[in-house]
Structures are given as C-alpha cells and as structure tokens.
C-alpha cells in the first residue's frame, strides 16, 4: 500500500524547489505529521541537504550556526544550491535572532541556501516569527488531519473520526482504547502542554494550566463562564490568568475560547468564552468514565459533532485567515459565526440533539447581510462538510 501524502507535501516540494526567496516555516500542533511531510517532500527534491533536530537541552545559537555552516558547505560550483532543514527550531535559545543574522549573511554573500524550518505552534515560535523575521518568511500550516484525510489514509468511518479525531499516530491504536488513551495523554496532551506552553512561556502556575485543559476539553462547544471555571480550580487564579492560559493552549493547538460575535470589539472581548478543542480526540481523551456514551447518548454526541464542526472551522480559519465566533441574544443562539472581509456566515449544526433553528432567524434579522449554513441538513450533510466539499463563503 502506497504511503499516504497530505496536500501539504506538494506545497513543501514546490517551495523547496524555488530559488531562494523566503525562509519556509512549517508550523502546526505536535504530532500532526510535520516531520513525515518534510521527509516525504525531501524524497521528491534533488538538492544537497543538511537536516538537524533541535533539542531543548543542547541547542544554542552556536549549535544553530554550526548546522547552518554545514549546509553552506554543500553549496559548490558543481552544486550551486542546497537545502537546510531544522526541525523543532523553537527549542533553540533566541532562535529568531540567530536565523535572521545567518539568513542575512547569505543574502549579502549571494549564497543560494534554501531554509526550511519547522516547529510546534508554541508562543515562542510565533513571537520569534513576528518580531525577528518580519518580511523574511512564509508560513506553511500543518493542521490536525481532516475527515477526508483520515478516511483515505486509515479507512475511518464518520463515527470513528468523531471519536478518535485527526492525530495520525493514534490511528493504528483505535482498536485498543486503553492503549489509544495512553498515547493521547503521554505523546500528545502532556508534551504539548509541558514543552510547547509551560516550558517556553511565562506560566506562573503550571498546575493551573493543566487543570484548565482537563476541565475545559470535556466542555467543548459549551459556554463556560470564567467564574465557573475558577470555581472548579483547586489553585488560586483570576479571570485574566484564565483568559491568558486559554490563549496559550490555543497557540499549542489544544483548546481555545471562542468569543461572541459582535462588531463592537470591546463587547466581544468581555464575553464569556465558548470552549472549543482543536480536535475531537482531545475531548474524548479527557471525557472520563462517560466517554463510552459519546457516540450513543444524543446530548453527548451532539456536543461531539458540534466540536468536530468547530475544529474543522478553526483549521480552515488558520489556513484561510478568517474569524470564528459564536452568537447569542436572549434565548436565541447560533453555534458559529465565521467572518472574512466583511462577509459573515451563521453556521448552525444539526447534530441529533433537539435544537431549534430560531437562532438563525434571529441572527439574520439582526444582521440581514449575513448568509446561513445548516450543517447536517439535506443540503449540507455532515460528512460532506467535514470532507471539505461545502464552500464556506460565497
């Protein structure tokens, strides 16, 4: 059986074969297949290359320069171009300043050394890109795997995708739930929090951060006030801390708080968040003893389906640069509102739970220029939507 290749592999091949122009930065949550995609791309690129894996224990600016010099040495009159690949670059201390210095040296010297960096979506990585490398890089995003990808690569049914989500490494373990749970916690959740958030950002209360994720993920697609979140915490915290920690969990591709849709930004920021996992497996893995009912109990499955739709929208928003919110006025609410360049679409999910569509009517009455989309209807079946076959904007 041929090895499955995600569409991002073709993008990587194209960028590697381009004349040196920008640093290429492959970013995405841990365990979404970034290293595999780079390996598959390298198989299709005929360039001398040097590949290095950064380590939080041993990687420094001197280490980075040494790797860069080794790659430079591959550029010769007979081979005028070469490729440098550094995985987990965010683990290098002050990595962006070092990369800027080395990249600019090559620009002055006319060296065609093409650079591909990769890393998890940690706060330190994003800060380095925006502060140190402005105008010098392009971002290629590795999101959680979609239903279409999991169906083609692993033969997932829709229910399997809803339950086990889009982490490719966990797919072979889905017949053994305890082993799958151990993998999700030991190889995905714990390292993402410990290495991509706590170790790389000023987190004063690591236990509070972990507790926030463990409390929040099972409540995916539900509104949870900051006061209620704090009420379930053993450690002391405040609203500002919780909001900041949610932002950090979001930057690691784990959990975020969706704000209410309101054209007035101040009111949007002040609202209680609707929690949303970036992948439904994160909800399943933290759900506790009732996870066996996630596919059989209509109420629980409803939240799982809505979370799958929300996770899909977050992945698309990352790639296509649009905003994702939710909306409520009185007793009327809409699951999601997506907006881009002045266009807004209200998205309601028919998930098996008994729900009224009056929220869509109320939303359109308040925002008459908005479009509507009902996921799970005859016109927009859930399977087609999660497969990426339904246009989001007109």
Determine the pLDDT at residue 204: 80
The phi, psi pair for 147, rounded to 5°, reads -60, -40
User: What whole-number distance in Å separates Cα of residue 387 and Cα of residue 158?
Assistant: 10
Determine the pLDDT at residue 290: 87
- Average pLDDT over every residue of 60-89: 95
Q: Which two tokens stand for residue 64?
A: 């980075």
User: What whole-number distance in Å separates Cα of residue 235 and Cα of residue 231?
Assistant: 10
Q: Is the pLDDT of residue 227 over 80?
A: no
Within 8 A by CB and 6+ apart from 214, the residues are: 286
- Decide: helix, strand or coil at residue 375: strand
Determine the pLDDT at residue 57: 66
The phi, psi pair for 257, rounded to 5°, reads -105, 115
Q: Which two tokens stand for residue 298?
A: 């209509």
pTM of the model: 0.91
Cβ-in-10-Å burial (0-12, 13-18, 19+) of 60 comes to: middle
pLDDT for 319-360, tens place per residue? 899 999 999 998 899 999 999 988 999 999 998 666 778 899
Determine the pLDDT at residue 201: 64
Of 56-60, 209-213, 237-241, which gets the smallest average pLDDT? 56-60
Within 8 A by CB and 6+ apart from 63, the residues are: 54, 92
Helices (H), the chain: 7-17, 34-42, 61-72, 95-109, 123-132, 147-154, 158-164, 177-183, 190-193, 206-216, 226-231, 239-251, 265-270, 280-285, 298-320, 358-366, 382-386
The phi, psi pair for 173, rounded to 5°, reads -100, 5
User: What whole-number distance in Å separates Cα of residue 215 and Cα of residue 232?
Assistant: 8
Q: Helix count (H) and strand count (E) of the chain?
A: 17, 11
95 pLDDT band, cuts 50/70/90, is confident
Q: Which uninterrupted H or E stretch holds 343?
A: strand 343-349
266 pLDDT band, cuts 50/70/90, is very low
- Average pLDDT over every residue of 90-95: 84
| Closest C-alpha to 347, from 356, 332, 359 | 359
Determine the pLDDT at residue 376: 93
Can you list the domains of the chain with their CATH numbers? 7-141 (3.40.50.300), 147-386 (no CATH)
Determine the pLDDT at residue 234: 58
| β-bridge mates for residue 85, sequence order | 51, 116
Q: Is the pLDDT of residue 271 over 70?
A: no
């Amino acid at each position: 059986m041929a090895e499955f290749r995600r569409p991002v592999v073709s993008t990587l091949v194209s960028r590697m074969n381009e004349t040196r122009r920008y640093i290429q930065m492959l970013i995405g949550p841990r365990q979404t297949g970034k290293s595999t995609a780079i390996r598959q791309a390298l198989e299709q690129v005929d360039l001398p290359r040097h590949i290095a894996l950064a380590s939080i224990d041993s990687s420094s600016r001197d280490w980075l320069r040494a790797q860069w010099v080794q790659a430079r040495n591959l550029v010769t009159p007979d081979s005028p171009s070469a490729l440098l690949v550094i995985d987990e670059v965010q683990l290098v201390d002050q990595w962006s300043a070092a990369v800027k210095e080395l990249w600019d040296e090559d620009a002055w010297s006319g060296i065609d050394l093409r650079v591909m960096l990769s890393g998890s979506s940690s706060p330190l990585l994003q800060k380095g890109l925006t502060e140190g490398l402005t105008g010098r890089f392009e971002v290629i995003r590795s999101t959680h795997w979609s239903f279409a990808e999991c169906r083609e690569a692993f033969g997932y049914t829709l229910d399997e995708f809803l339950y086990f989500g889009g982490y490719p490494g966990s797919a072979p373990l889905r017949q053994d739930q305890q082993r799958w749970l151990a993998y999700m916690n030991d190889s995905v959740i714990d390292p993402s929090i410990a290495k991509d958030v706590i170790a790389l950002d000023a987190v004063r209360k690591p236990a509070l951060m972990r507790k926030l994720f463990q409390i929040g993920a099972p409540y995916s697609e539900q509104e949870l006030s900051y006061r209620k979140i704090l009420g379930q915490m053993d450690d002391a915290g405040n609203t500002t801390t919780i909001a900041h920690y949610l932002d950090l969990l979001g930057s690691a591709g784990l959990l975020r708080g969706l704000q209410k849709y309101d054209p007035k930004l101040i009111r949007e920021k002040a609202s209680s968040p609707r929690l949303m996992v970036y992948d439904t497996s994160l909800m399943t893995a933290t759900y506790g003893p009732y996870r066996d009912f996630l596919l059989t109990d209509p109420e629980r499955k409803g939240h799982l389906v809505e979370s799958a739709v929300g996770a899909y929208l977050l992945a698309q928003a990352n790639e296509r640069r649009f905003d994702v919110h939710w909306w409520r006025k009185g007793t009327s609410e809409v699951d999601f509102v997506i907006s881009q360049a002045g266009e807004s679409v209200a998205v309601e999910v028919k998930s098996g739970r008994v729900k009224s569509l009056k929220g869509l009517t109320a939303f359109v009455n308040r925002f008459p220029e908005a479009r509507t989309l009902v996921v799970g209807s005859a016109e927009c079946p859930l399977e087609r939507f999660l497969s990426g076959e339904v246009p989001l904007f007109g």
